[in-house]
Amino acid sequence: MDLEVTPAGANSDTRSDARISHLALDIGGTLAKLVYFSGNEKLLNDDRVQSSAEVGGRSSSILHGRLHFAKFETGKIDECVAFINSKELGSQHPKELGNGKIVKATGGGAFKFADLFKEKLDVCLDKEDEMDCLVAGANFLLKAVHQEAFTYIGGQKEFVQINQDDLYPFLLVNIGSGVSMIKVDGNGKFERVSGTSLGGGTFWGLGKLLTKCNSFDELLELSQQGNNRVVDMLVGDIYGGGDYNKIGLSSTAIASSFGKTVSANKVLENYRTEDLARSLLRMISNNIGQLAYLTALRFGLRRIFFGGFFIRGQCYTMDTISVAVHYWSKGDAQAMFMRHEGFLGALGAFMSYNKQGPDNFIHLMKQDPKHEPEFDGTAPEEEDSEYASIDCFLDLA
Ligand SMILES: Nc1ncnc2c1ncn2[C@@H]1O[C@H](COP(=O)(O)OP(=O)(O)O)[C@@H](O)[C@H]1O
Ligand SMILES: CC(C)(COP(=O)(O)O)[C@@H](O)C(=O)NCCC(=O)O
């Protein structure tokens, strides 16, 4: 019951009453994501609440606390179970009528691990549809969270001011193990219009085989030191060093990802793992960027938001996706990234506790300094700063 587990990305809560009052899960093909709310202090006539939302007169059903984010490898789901066990679900946590506690859960793991959660935690996973949750999570973040979306162009991050009256339609591209592309027209109004199996799992899986590295972070680190030109066949390699001007291809454009390895008299061991990782990351990111744009074009969409843990705030990944969208759309469409990239589904599942729908459930406290982003163009070193907890209140009305 008291197992101490510190997950990647979790923020430890030092408050004595830090039991979890609401918890939701998104258990995907590779990672299990948790969003949980702790702290059960009731806010009565608090100025910050009054100015954050019109909830006057209903303060008895308002909980103040922090929303936390954590992730575990799905392959080590026991660590996730132990973490929840160590935190304990408090008395406020929703229960089935006359029965034990329920936890909102989405992703394939909500089905796959339902028995495990029942057995180990005596918790019933209440399943929510993955696409519903992704969309609800994205809509909430884009509308409620200050400086959630940003562009990444030429090495510069720039926050996007979201105009709530002009947000829809957009294309949501979630890059998890696989990739889902969803046309979003409003709250709960969406259609999954495309997808591809060449996603984050492909990068991580092929990368692991090619470089023998042991963790996703190690693979990303390798990629930062690599040179893809050693592996990729460029237009110049084919055209004797020159451009292919007639069809607008410069000599440095990639003609064929990994294409150079065919004619070089080398085996895998002769390549630097850094170069292989770089080329692989570029290939996957570029392909997703291109497919995303083609899908957006099919439906006349100009705004494309990218989520999913494949991105991990990586400059090279975001840059490659942005360049692909810009190149293929001739500057017409724009790639935008989301700060809480990997938690869209878990947040959506969390919001489904609200019977009235996703709106007006989570309210962010005004001017939470902890929530001010610190983007400097580099990937955060510490997981904790990556997904800082959010000071907020839940309206349980
Ligand atoms: N710590 C990590 N361990 C494994 N994969 C990671 C990690 N961080 C990022 N990734 C990438 O994120 C992908 C999973 O993204 P996610 O959105 O969680 O999808 P899923 O719901 O399929 O698990 C992996 O395939 C990998 O590319
Ligand atoms: C099946 C999935 C929705 C599962 O989500 P994930 O765990 O990858 O986040 C996703 O992997 C996907 O959309 N794959 C692409 C399948 C296709 O459209 O061909």
Domains of the chain: 20-130+342-395 (3.30.420.40), 149-231+271-338 (3.30.420.40)
CA of 42 to the centre of ligand 2 (A): 40
User: Residue 377, exposed/middle/buried by CB under 10 A (0-12, 13-18, 19+)?
Assistant: exposed
> Is a pLDDT exceeding 90 seen at residue 192?
yes
Best probe residue, ligand 2, of 30, 130, 177 (max atoms within 8 Å of C-beta): 177
Separate counts of helices (H) and strands (E) for the chain = 13, 16
> Is a pLDDT exceeding 50 seen at residue 30?
yes
> Is a pLDDT exceeding 70 seen at residue 175?
yes
Q: Is 198 in the pocket of ligand 2 (CB under 6 A)?
A: no
CA of 305 to the centre of ligand 1 (A): 18
> Is a pLDDT exceeding 90 seen at residue 355?
no
Whether residue 395 contacts residue 22, with contact meaning beta carbons closer than 8 Å, is answered with no
ipTM above 0.90, yes or no: yes
CA of 38 to the centre of ligand 1 (A): 25
Other C-beta atoms lying within 10 Å of the C-beta of residue 321: 29
Q: Ligand 1: which atom is nearest the Cα of residue 201?
A: 25
> Is a pLDDT exceeding 80 seen at residue 369?
no
Q: Is 28 in the pocket of ligand 2 (CB under 6 A)?
A: yes
DSSP string, 276-289: HHHHHHHHHHHHHH
Ligand 1 pocket (Cβ < 6 Å) reads 28-31, 73, 107, 176-177, 200-201, 203-204, 216, 308-310, 312, 342
What pLDDT is attached to residue 95?
81
In terms of Cα–Cα distance, which of 264, 258, 208 is closest to 231? Answer: 258
CA of 72 to the centre of ligand 2 (A): 19
CA of 178 to the centre of ligand 2 (A): 4
Q: How far apart are CA 283 and CA 196, in angstroms?
A: 14
Q: Is 180 in the pocket of ligand 2 (CB under 6 A)?
A: yes
CA of 306 to the centre of ligand 2 (A): 14
CA of 176 to the centre of ligand 1 (A): 6
Best probe residue, ligand 1, of 208, 214, 216, 341 (max atoms within 8 Å of C-beta): 216
> What does the pLDDT average to over 174-187?
98
The helix-helix angle for 216-224 and 273-298 (nearest 10°) equals: 100
> Is a pLDDT exceeding 50 seen at residue 53?
no
At 282, the amino acid letter reads R
Residue with tokens 């001739």: 330
Whether residue 311 contacts residue 305, with contact meaning beta carbons closer than 8 Å, is answered with no
Name beta bridge partners: 129: none
Q: Which ligand is nearest to the CA of 34?
A: 1
Whether residue 101 contacts residue 126, with contact meaning beta carbons closer than 8 Å, is answered with no
Hey, is 91 helix, strand or coil?
A: coil
CA of 317 to the centre of ligand 1 (A): 14
> Dmax over Cα atoms in the chain, in whole Å?
76
> Is a pLDDT exceeding 80 seen at residue 8?
no
What pLDDT is attached to residue 2?
27
Q: Is 176 in the pocket of ligand 2 (CB under 6 A)?
A: yes
Q: Which ligand is nearest to the CA of 26?
A: 1
Other C-beta atoms lying within 10 Å of the C-beta of residue 119: 11
Pairing of strands 124-127, 102-106: parallel
User: What are the phi and psi torsion angles at 87 (to 5°)?
Assistant: -85, -35
> Is a pLDDT exceeding 90 seen at residue 261?
yes
Q: Ligand 2: which atom is nearest the Cα of residue 131?
A: 3
CA of 334 to the centre of ligand 2 (A): 23
What pLDDT is attached to residue 385?
42
What pLDDT is attached to residue 11?
39
CA of 11 to the centre of ligand 1 (A): 19
Hey, is 237 helix, strand or coil?
A: helix
pLDDT band at 6 (very low <50, low <70, confident <90, very high): very low
pLDDT above 90 covers a percentage of the chain that reads: 71
pLDDT tens digits, 131-153: 999 999 999 999 999 889 999 99
Best probe residue, ligand 1, of 71, 74, 129, 177 (max atoms within 8 Å of C-beta): 177
Name beta bridge partners: 36: 23, 68
